[in-house]
């Protein structure tokens, strides 16, 4: 059983929480705790041996915490996820494979693409695919159509698996800190479009990828995970794109695993990640 | 103030410990906890905001723990260290520099070498250097001389900074889990002498270094830290030695930092490291 | 056009080869050359702007090289590959995806498994799958059946994508340096079975994966690529297996890319890899 | 003997160069070649077994190359280097140690600091140290004093080993592509001052360091080497500074090694690095 807690910090929080667990004979397998001294915030993730009566336990814990506390016990057995894509297959295929073999840590409900290119691979996995073209249509109309599909599924998270359109504040606000994007650069370097072209022109020796929650500011949301790979003078911009795909796939997979295992807390445009 | 605790696991340990801290109005800045389910052992490292009266607190905490518990509060302001070397300078020089600028996290008391080669660099830092040659002398005699020097200084740790002789069980037992060695391979690959030659002949694509506590079994003690660097066909065995030196220096520095900050627990030939 | 050359070293090889290219107005885009001074061997990979009349060019080049020279020009447009598996899906699925989207750099002809578990995923990609159980059958009989299937396809390479049986010398000899295996450890550490269990018990801080050509000695063939990921005390042996899968997939993909792009030379149980 | 060549690309360059080497019975141990197809430039680094009469050979090679070709044979036995510092010791100390033990690949002539703090460590190595305060003095005056000291030594390279003042275009132009700086971020992220504070506020999961040649644009010169280390939510800005120092030291050391071994070519704000 996983318990995640986020609230204002105060003396005695660990004592209060662990006293309740001990009282119910619950053994702590692992505990991660972080206090943000600047923001005076307390974050905790507990892995408990066992635990019936989750609702009761949640109430007991809430009783000893400040009123603003967020407590989540044994988060839902499987998160539901809608994936959005454009043309590139690498992140989507990785997700479909893990979903198919039951190792994704969540359940993919459907895939929405602004192109039809990736419909074929989804069909091979009997995965519903919706093509919503962004052409000959206004942005609000496009997003309305997308939102209508999402609403059917009521997902816990939306994963932008190389979805190359910028979402408007309305849709971002609706799924606040529940939209996860993979950006094809080592943020905050190379914000915006065509980062590999920018990286090539700058002559960098490493390129990276960043998985982050989406906020209203382009590529400015809280970062979940980042990784890099070395490049050199022999890489064309196209080679960098190619090499970047491997790292994009890996970083997005890692970030999603962390999120689905309730290891990621968001606060003030930053994340606390208990790896 | 740092508190480290190691004991048999049982339900309620965290509650008991944190209750005492709360009672004394001590705020937990960060807490790391690990339970080894196989060995049924509990490990904890606490960083506390403040704390007078350490001895009293230690007794309070011990009262609520099983009798075998090891509790150490605010470990000594600066650990004392004796460094042993042979001919290679890279690890020693890194230690001398950090020691000189006060960023080593411990105090180097003296250096003992079985060659005189590194005396010069020690003199430049006014660091006592003892040459104890292993030539024309039995191993027990050699170690007796070394032990006599060490005894003068009564160090907390002995660091083998590329000391290329194998210590006998007697001296290892005397400083059990207080001797730290840097081995020039990614253990357990290439145990024993000349690991880079072995690595070269095997045609590996990565070489590594391992910092570990010394036990009676050659290169078999508990591992603290490991790192690797890529190599390729263009590396001669000598090039690998050269490249390896950079990683040896880095790994030993990292391992010592972890040990000096009381982040390393040893149990049953393994370590728990709260990085 | 790619030209790969491997022969005994002698003065003037580069001059002779490049003179022929210049004579035919062929521009060298990139050239990689390595001389193994110990073995007195010369290795070269050339990327040439263009090139009609490959056979003629091959003969021209051979004329200026020692008689034992291996010259291969513009190696076959697409290598053919048979994949062998047991129960684990991660490496196979990655290969199937790349093959499906045409980015594998080779063409998968069929998959052979000693279990039926992975038949389903192959069917989704219309990939022929042959189950050849190793149970209730002698090893020679098992390998005879496997060889019969392979013979139908006449592949350039056999990829052991987590195939957990050891092949006998007969079959290894038949496909000498054309069978590529992914071993789930950082060789030569943890040779043989259950390397993650071994790694867990040794308490290592990094685990790795090794892609190598298969030779008669278990896990002793020439290494193509290796990678590692950090682990710590919180990893059970099962967690290590899980973490290892990510790196196994990545290392095998990288090694296969290198092989299919004719960047890997084998000589005396080592590889020269022009990345 | 090392030969480095940089010129406009044309068909037959390798043939012409290698023919001359063959004619003089010079054996090529290793050869690295790169053609920048966008800029139509040719770069080559040759490692030759032996070579008397370098001047003659240089002329022979130049004869077969385009008139603008840069050819440098067996570059000077030891490069001369002036190091500039401010207050931080880590890069300087690493350089002094390598210089002392003869493994720096160049000779440090003197150290210039805008503070006196690092005079002590230099004195311990009998290294001339010049304090040139930037206080109560105009920037041109400051740089005039610095330039006067540098002129005494006529160095091949100036290494900014955490020198925290921006040099004016005049002095940068004078030592064009001969001033090497270590920047404490993964450029182009966090250009300018206090990059670790910026990194902390952005909540990044990796921090980096960049060694680059200095151009007139702040932190915009050609990049030689970059590296990163992981950080997480538990790092304060001060912790990031501390962690960054290790990587800064390593990256600067690596970049200098590459430069001193004539492995780095500069062209159009990028580098070609034959590692």
Q: What is the distance between the alpha carbons of residues C24 and D202, in angstroms, rounded to a whole number?
A: 56
Q: What is the pLDDT of residue A126?
A: 98
Q: What is the pTM of this model?
A: 0.94
**What are the residue numbers of the active site of C?**
219
Q: What is the distance between the alpha carbons of residues C269 and D139, in angstroms, rounded to a whole number?
A: 61
Q: What is the pLDDT of residue C51?
A: 65
Interface ipTM? 0.93
Q: What is the pLDDT of residue C104?
A: 97
Cα dist. D41→B205, D7, D44, D64 in Å?
A: 31, 6, 10, 16
The answer to whether C11 contacts D18, with C-beta atoms less than 8 Å apart, is no
Q: Which residues pair with A273 in a beta bridge?
A: A264
Q: If you search the block for the tokens 């590296």, which residue do you land on?
A: D227
Q: What is the distance between the alpha carbons of residues D146 and D113, in angstroms, rounded to a whole number?
A: 9
Among candidate residues B89, A219, A206, B264, the one with its CA nearest the CA of residue D247: A206
Token duo for residue C250: 């990545």
C270: chain B residues, CB-CB within 8 Å: 203, 233
Among candidate residues D264, D168, D166, the one with its CA nearest the CA of residue D222: D264
Q: What is the pLDDT of residue C81?
A: 98
Q: What is the distance between the alpha carbons of residues C143 and C172, in angstroms, rounded to a whole number?
A: 11
Q: Which chains touch A (3 or more CB pairs under 8 A)?
A: B, C, D
Contacts of residue A34, Cβ cutoff 8 Å, sequence gap at least 6: A42, A43, A44, A272, A274, B30, D233, D234
Greatest alpha-carbon pair distance for chain B in Å reads 63
List the strands of the sheet with B79-85, edge to edge: B129-131, B106-113, B79-85, B157-160, B179-183, B206-213, B223-230
Task: Report whether D210 contacts D185 (CB < 8 A).
Answer: yes
Q: Min CA distance, D60 vs chain C (Å)? A: 15
User: Would you say the C-alpha torsion A123, A129, A135, A137 has a positive or negative sign?
Assistant: positive
Q: What is the distance between the alpha carbons of residues D264 and D259, in angstroms, rounded to a whole number?
A: 5
Q: What is the distance between the alpha carbons of residues A18 and B14, in angstroms, rounded to a whole number?
A: 6
The answer to whether A101 contacts C89, with C-beta atoms less than 8 Å apart, is yes
Angle at D27 between CA D24 and CA D28, to 5 degrees: 120
The neighbour count for residue D218, using CB atoms within 10 Å, is: 12
Q: What is the distance between the alpha carbons of residues C69 and C59, in angstroms, rounded to a whole number?
A: 11
Q: What is the pLDDT of residue A93?
A: 98
Q: What is the pLDDT of residue B37?
A: 85
Q: What is the distance between the alpha carbons of residues B135 and B151, in angstroms, rounded to a whole number?
A: 22
- DSSP alpha helix (H) spans, chain A: 13-23, 54-63, 90-100, 119-124, 139-153, 169-174, 195-202, 237-260
Cα dist. A208→A226, B112, D195 in Å?
A: 7, 45, 18
Q: Which chains touch C (3 or more CB pairs under 8 A)?
A: A, B, D
Token duo for residue A172: 């971002």
Identify which of B11, B22, B31 has the shortest CB distance to residue A22: B11
A67-71, A240-244, B225-229, D218-222: least confident range: D218-222
Contacts of residue A102, Cβ cutoff 8 Å, sequence gap at least 6: none
Q: pLDDT per position in chain D (275 positions), as tens?
A: 899 999 999 888 999 999 999 888 888 888 899 999 888 999 999 988 776 677 788 888 999 999 889 998 876 678 999 999 999 999 999 999 999 999 999 999 999 999 999 999 999 999 999 999 999 999 999 999 999 999 999 999 999 999 999 999 988 999 999 999 999 887 777 777 788 888 888 899 999 999 999 998 777 899 999 999 999 999 999 999 999 999 999 999 999 999 999 999 999 899 999 98
Mutant choice from D202, D203, D239, D267 vs A, greatest count of A C-beta within 10 A: D203
pLDDT of residue B193 exceeding 80, the answer is no
Cα dist. D209→A251, D161, D165, D254 in Å?
A: 21, 12, 17, 12
- Give, to the nearest 10 degrees, the angle between helix D90-100 and helix D237-260: 30
Task: Report whether A272 contacts A34 (CB < 8 A).
Answer: yes
CATH number of B79-273: 3.40.50.170
Q: What is the distance between the alpha carbons of residues D259 and D157, in angstroms, rounded to a whole number?
A: 10
Q: Which of D94, D156, D219, D262 is catalytic?
A: D219
Q: What is the pLDDT of residue B192?
A: 73
Task: Report whether C179 contacts C157 (CB < 8 A).
Answer: yes
Identify which of B205, B223, B275 has the shortest CB distance to residue C226: B205
Question: Is D246 touching B (CB cutoff 8 A)?
Answer: yes
Q: Please report which helix (H) or strand (E) contains residue C25, including its range.
A: none
pLDDT, mean of each 10-residue run, chain C (275 residues): 93 91 86 89 89 79 91 83 98 98 97 98 98 95 96 97 92 93 83 81 92 86 94 92 94 97 94 94
Residue B98 — pLDDT band, cuts 50, 70, 90?
very high
Q: What is the pLDDT of residue A149?
A: 97
Contacts of residue A257, Cβ cutoff 8 Å, sequence gap at least 6: A105
The answer to whether D208 contacts A206, with C-beta atoms less than 8 Å apart, is yes
Q: What is the distance between the alpha carbons of residues C134 and C269, in angstroms, rounded to a whole number?
A: 29
Residue B51 — pLDDT band, cuts 50, 70, 90?
low
Task: Report whether C95 contacts C182 (CB < 8 A).
Answer: no
Among candidate residues B87, B89, B126, the one with its CA nearest the CA of residue B252: B89
Q: What is the 3-state secondary structure (H, E, C) of B233-269?
A: CCCCHHHHHHHHHHHHHHHHHHHHHHHHCCCEEEECC
Q: What is the pLDDT of residue A28?
A: 86
Q: If you search the block for the tokens 């090679």, which residue do you land on?
A: D61
Task: Report whether B106 contacts B184 (CB < 8 A).
Answer: no
The answer to whether D28 contacts C30, with C-beta atoms less than 8 Å apart, is no
Cα dist. D18→A130, D27, D35, D137 in Å?
A: 60, 9, 16, 55
Question: Is B30 touching A (CB cutoff 8 A)?
Answer: yes
D266: chain A residues, CB-CB within 8 Å: none
Task: Specify whether domain A2-73 bears CATH 3.30.70.260.
Answer: yes
Token duo for residue A85: 């894509």
3-state secondary structure of C61: helix
Q: What is the 3-state secondary structure (H, E, C) of chain D?
A: CEEEEEEECCCCHHHHHHHHHHHCCCCEEEEEEEEECCCCEEEEEEEECCCCCHHHHHHHHHHCCCCCCEEEECCCCCEEEEEEECCCCHHHHHHHHHHHCCCCCEEEEEEEECCCCCHHHHHHCCCCEEECCCCCCCHHHHHHHHHHHHHHHCCCEEEECCCCCCCCHHHHHHCCCCEEEEECCCCCCCCCCCHHHHHHHHCCCEEEEEEEECCCCCCCCCEEEEEEEECCCCCCHHHHHHHHHHHHHHHHHHHHHHHHCCCEEEECCEEEECC
Q: Min CA distance, A116 vs chain D (Å)? A: 34
Rg (CA), chain B: 20
Identify which of A11, A18, A32 has the shortest CB distance to residue B14: A18
The answer to whether A223 contacts D232, with C-beta atoms less than 8 Å apart, is no
pLDDT of residue A30 exceeding 90, the answer is no
Domain residues of chain C, as ranges?
2-73, 79-273
Q: What is the pLDDT of residue C54?
A: 77
Q: Min CA distance, A168 vs chain C (Å)? A: 32
- pLDDT, average across residues A192-217: 88
Residues 149-208 of B with CB under 8 A from D: none
The answer to whether A97 contacts C97, with C-beta atoms less than 8 Å apart, is yes
pLDDT of residue B191 exceeding 90, the answer is no
Q: What is the distance between the alpha carbons of residues C146 and C171, in angstroms, rounded to a whole number?
A: 9
As a whole-number percent, the residues of chain A with pLDDT over 90 amount to: 70
Q: What is the pLDDT of residue D44?
A: 95
- pLDDT, average across residues B132-138: 95
- pLDDT, average across residues B232-252: 93
Q: What is the pLDDT of residue D25?
A: 86
Phi, psi of A170 (to 5 degrees): -60, -50
User: Would you say the C-alpha torsion A96, A97, A100, A106 has a positive or negative sign?
Assistant: negative
Q: Which of B50, B94, B216, B219 is catalytic?
A: B219
pLDDT of residue B189 exceeding 80, the answer is no
pLDDT of residue B26 exceeding 70, the answer is yes
Among candidate residues A251, C242, D234, D196, the one with its CA nearest the CA of residue B275: D234
Q: Min CA distance, B116 vs chain D (Å)? A: 15
Task: Report whether A184 contacts A209 (CB < 8 A).
Answer: yes
Question: Is B121 touching D (CB cutoff 8 A)?
Answer: yes
- pLDDT, average across residues B143-154: 96
Residue B162 — pLDDT band, cuts 50, 70, 90?
very high
Phi, psi of C104 (to 5 degrees): -80, -25
Task: Report whether D150 contacts D134 (CB < 8 A).
Answer: no
Verify whether residue B94 is a known catalytic residue.
no
Residues B53-72 have pLDDT tens digits of 777 888 889 999 998 899 98
Q: What is the pLDDT of residue D201?
A: 86
Q: What is the distance between the alpha carbons of residues A218 and C129, in angstroms, rounded to a whole number?
A: 46
User: Would you say the C-alpha torsion A99, A102, A104, A105 has a positive or negative sign?
Assistant: positive
Q: What is the pLDDT of residue D52?
A: 66
- pLDDT, average across residues A59-87: 89
Residues A126-183 have pLDDT tens digits of 999 999 999 999 999 999 999 999 999 999 999 999 999 999 998 899 999 999 999 9
């Amino acid at each position: 059983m996983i318990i995640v807690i986020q609230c204002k910090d105060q003396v005695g929080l660990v004592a209060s929480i662990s006293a309740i667990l001990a009282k119910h004979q619950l053994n702590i397998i692992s505990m991660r705790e972080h206090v943000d001294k600047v923001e005076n915030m307390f974050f905790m993730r507990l892995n408990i041996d066992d635990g019936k009566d989750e609702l009761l336990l949640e109430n007991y814990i809430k009783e000893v915490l400040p009123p603003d506390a967020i407590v989540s016990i044994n988060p839902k057995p499987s998160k539901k996820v809608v994936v959005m894509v454009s043309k590139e297959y690498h992140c989507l295929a990785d997700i479909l494979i893990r979903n198919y073999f039951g190792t994704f840590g969540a359940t993919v409900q459907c895939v929405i693409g602004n192109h039809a290119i990736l419909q074929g691979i989804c069909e091979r996995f009997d995965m519903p695919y919706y093509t919503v073209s962004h052409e000959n249509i206004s942005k609000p109309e496009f997003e309305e159509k997308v939102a209508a599909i999402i609403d059917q599924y009521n997902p816990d998270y939306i994963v932008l698996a190389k979805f190359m359109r910028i979402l408007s504040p309305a849709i971002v606000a609706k799924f606040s800190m529940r939209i996860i994007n993979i950006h094809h650069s080592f943020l905050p370097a190379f914000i915006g479009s065509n980062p590999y072209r920018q990286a090539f022109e700058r002559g960098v020796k490493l390129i990276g990828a960043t998985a982050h929650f989406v906020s209203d500011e382009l590529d400015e949301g809280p970062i979940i995970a980042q990784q890099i790979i070395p490049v050199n003078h022999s890489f064309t911009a196209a080679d960098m794109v190619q090499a970047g795909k491997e790292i994009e796939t890996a970083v997005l997979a890692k970030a999603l695993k962390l999120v689905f295992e309730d290891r990621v807390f968001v606060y003030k445009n930053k994340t606390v990640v208990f790896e």
